[in-house]
A and B are shown apart, each in its own frame.
Chain A
Amino acid sequence: MIETRGLRKSFRSRAGRETKTVDAVRGVNLDVAEGEIFGFLGPNGAGKTTTLRMLATLIEPDGGEATIAGADLRKDPAEVRRRIGYVAQGGSTWDESTAREELVLHARLYGIGKAEAHRRAARALDAFQLSDYADRKCKTYSGGQRRRVEIALGIIHEPKIVFLDEPTTGLDPQSRAHMWDEIRRLRAEGMTVFITTHYLDEADALCDRIAIMDHGEVVAEGTPAELKREISGEVVIVGLDAPATPRAAELLDTEAYVNKLETVDEGGLRLYVDEGATAIPQVLRRLDGAGLDLRSIELHRPSLDDVFLTKTGRSLRES
C-alpha cells in the first residue's frame, strides 16, 4: 500500500549568522501492507513528522521515491492527495467554525457535491460520537473531541490510507483508549492506518507492525512480537538474601535452560532464559530442593523499550 525507497529530506535552518543543515530523514525504506495499522515509533525529532509530510505531498523529498496507494509520489502528487487522508500533529480545526462546517467544507474541497458532503458530515459526526456538539464552535471542544473531529476530517473522503501524526499525544488516558478504538474501527472498515507515536505501549498494543525510527533512520521493523523476540529472550529475577546468593548462583549456573546468569549486588540473581514461564517452576524446585529461601521471583519480558535500547543504545523513555 505504501512503498518508499531512500526517502530523504534535509532542512537548512539559520541560527544567527550560521546556516545549519539538519538531515531530518536520511533514506527511509518502508513497506506498509493493505489494511494494517502501521506504527512509526521514535523519540521527538526522529523525523516521523517530516516523513509523513513528505508522504502526504506537503513537502517535497530531496531524494528517493514512494508509491502510495498505487500513485507515484514524485510524478503524480495530485493523485496521491485524492487517495490519502492526513491528520496533522498540531491540529487543524478553526476555533470559530463548527465541526459540521469543517467537515462539509473539507469534503467539498475533495470535489464532493454539497448534498453528499452534508450526508457524509452527518454520518461522520455520528460515527465519532460528535453529533451532540456538531453545531458548536470548535473552540468549545475538549482535547479528545477536537482530535476526533480532526480524524473525521482526515477520512471524510473515504481514502484508502490515512496518516495520523501522534493521534493520542496530549490526551487523557480515557480519551486515549477511546481513540485506539476509533483507529481499530478504521482498520475494520478496510482502511490502512499509518500512525506515528512516541508511546511504547501504543506501538505495542495498537499496531500490527512498527518501524522504529531514530535520527532520521529506520533502525528496526517488524511486528512488536517479532522485534521483542529478536532480542535477549526473557529475564527471571530471583530475590535472595545476600548470604544465600553465591550458593544459588552455583546451583543454577549449570542448569541447561539458563543462558546467562548475573548476580545482583544487594543479593539476588538475574537469569536470562528463552522462556520464563517454563523456567520459573524449575528454578523454584531447584532452590527449594537445596533448602534455600527465596524472597521473590519475577519475570521480565522484553519491552519495545528494550528493543529500542539494543538498537540505539538509548532508552526511549529517557529521550
Chain B
Amino acid sequence: MKFARDTWLIFQRQFQLLLRNPVWLFVGVFQPVMYLLLFAPLLKAALNAPTQAAAYKIFVPGLLVLLAIFGGLFQGFGLIAELRAGVIERSRVTPVSRLALLLGRSLRDVVSLIAQAIIITLLALLFDLRVFIGYLLLAYLMLALIALMTSAVSYGVALKVKSEDALAPLMNTVAQPVLLLSGILLPLALAPGWLQGIANWNPFSWAVDGVRALFAGDLSNDKVWQGLTIIAVLAVAGVVWAARQFARSVR
C-alpha cells in the first residue's frame, strides 16, 4: 500500500515535469515519423515485399522495439542531473520506498514510450498497416517490458557512474551491438548463419521476432511467449538491481 502510494507520487511528479517540457514530445515523435516516412519506402524493394503494408508489418515492430530500447537506455542522463541537484539525496532521507524511487521513474518512461508507440501505430494505419487490437496490446506489453528493463538498467548504471561523461560511451557501447544483432532494422532472416547464431544470444532479437509475429497475426508462433518471458525475467532482474543502487547510492 505504502509502496504503491510512493510509486504513484514519484511517477506523478516525473510525469508532470515531462509534460512541462513539450519539446521532448516533439523530438520523441518527430524522429520515428521520419523513419516511417523516409526509410520505410526503401524497404518494400529491399525486402521484396508485395505491398507497402507488408513492408510496414516488418518494419514498424522493429522501429517500436528500437524506440523502447533507446528511450530507456538514455533516461540515466536525467537522473544524473537530479543527482547533481541533490534531489535524489533529498528523497533518500525520507522514508520513501527505494523501489518506488526507481519504479516511479521507470513507469514514467514506459508511459511515454507507449504514447510514442500509439502515435506511430496510428500513422502506420494510414499506410494500410492492419493489426488485430488484441495482438497489438500484447506487442505493447512487450514494448513496456523492454522500456522498463532498459530504463531501470540505465538508472542503475547512472547511480553507479554518477557522470554523463561515463554514461554516454557506456550506453552507446551497449546499444550498438544490441541494435545490430537484433534484426531491428532488417530481419535477421536475411543474415548469414553465423550472424543468426550470435543474434540468438541477444534477448532483443527474440523480442523483435515476437513483436513481428504479433503484427503478422501469428499468435501461435513460439517467439511470442518466449520473447515475453525472456524480457519479463530480464525486466524484473533489472528493476531489482537498480532499486538496490537507489538504496545504497552515495552522492
Residues on A facing B (Cβ under 8 Å): 56-60, 78, 81-82, 84-86, 88, 90-97, 101, 105-106, 108-111, 153, 157
Whether the pair A56, B93 counts as a contact (CB closer than 8 A) is yes
Cα of A101 to Cα of B9 in the assembled complex, Å: 12
- Is the pair B250, A58 in contact by a Cβ cutoff of 8 Å? yes
A97–B250 touching, CB < 8 Å: no
A-B contact pairs, 5 of them (CB 8 A): A58-B89, A58-B93, A94-B87, A106-B94, A111-B2
Whether B17 sits at the interface, judged by CB under 8 Å, is yes
Please, which residues of chain A bring their CB within 8 A of the CB of B90? 88, 92, 106, 153
CB distance from A152 to the nearest CB of B (A): 12
Chain B residues in the interface with A (C-beta under 8 A): 2, 6, 9, 13, 16-17, 20-21, 82, 85-87, 89-96, 248, 250
CB distance B250 to A108 under 8 Å? no
Assess the A91–B85 pair: CB atoms within 8 A: yes
Interface of B: prevailing SS: helix
**In the complex, which residues of chain B have a beta carbon less than 8 angstroms from the beta carbon of A95?**
85
Which chain B positions have C-beta within 8 A of A59?
250
Say whether A109 contacts B96, CB under 8 Å: yes
Measured CA separation A56–B91 after assembly (Å): 12
A111 to B95, CA, bound (A): 8
Known: A105-B9, A109-B6, A111-B2. A92 touches B86 (CB 8 A): yes
Query: Which residues of chain B have C-beta atoms less than 8 A from A106's C-beta?
Result: 90, 94
Known: A105-B13, A111-B95. A94 touches B89 (CB 8 A): no
* Complexed CA–CA distance, A274 and B13 (Å): 61
- Are B17 and A97 neighbours in the complex by a CB distance under 8 Å? yes
B98 CB to nearest chain A CB (Å): 11
Across the two chains, which residue of chain A brings its CB closest to B248?
A60
> How far is B97's CA from A78's CA once the two chains are assembled, in angstroms?
10
Which residues on B sit within 8 Å (CB–CB) of A85?
93
Find out whether the CB atom of A92 lies under 8 angstroms from the CB atom of B9.
no
Partner of B94 from the list A88, A96, A101, A110 (CB cut-off 8 Å) is A110
> In this complex, what residue of B is CB-closest to A56?
B93
Note all chain B residues with C-beta closer than 8 A to A97. 13, 17
- A57 B93 Cβ-Cβ under 8 A: yes
What residues of chain B lie closer than 8 Å to A82, measured between beta carbons?
95
A110 engages B95 (CB within 8 Å): yes
Leading 9 A-B pairs by shortest Cβ distance? A92-B86, A92-B90, A109-B94, A86-B93, A109-B96, A81-B95, A91-B86, A88-B86, A94-B87
Q: Which residue of B lies closest to A105 (CB)?
A: B13
Pick the contact of A81: B17, B21, B82, B94 (CB < 8 A): B94
Cβ–Cβ < 8 Å partners of A56 in chain B: 93
Contact among A93, A96, A110, A157 with B17 in the assembled complex (CB-CB below 8 Å): A96
Docked-complex contact A88 and B89, CB < 8 angstroms: yes
Inter-chain CA distance A314–B169, complex, in Å, is 45
Contact A78 B95 (CB under 8 A): yes
Chain A residues within an 8 Å CB radius of B89: 58, 88, 92
Query: Considering residues B82, B87, B91, B93, which has the most beta carbons from chain A within 10 angstroms of its beta carbon?
Result: B93
By a CB distance below 8 angstroms, the chain B residues around A81 are 93-95
Beyond A93-B85, A97-B13, A153-B90: 4 further Cβ-contacts under 8 Å? A58-B250, A95-B85, A110-B95, A157-B94
Please name the residue on chain A nearest to B12 by beta carbon: A105
Smallest Cβ distance from A190 to chain B, in angstroms? 21
Q: Which residue of B lies closest to A91 (CB)?
A: B86
Closest to A90 in B: B86
Q: How far is the CB of A169 from chain B (nearest CB, A)?
A: 14
Shortest C-beta distance, B139 to chain A (Å), equals 33
Q: Is the CB of B9 within 8 A of A108?
A: yes
Residues of A within 8 A of B95 (CB): 78, 81-82, 109-111
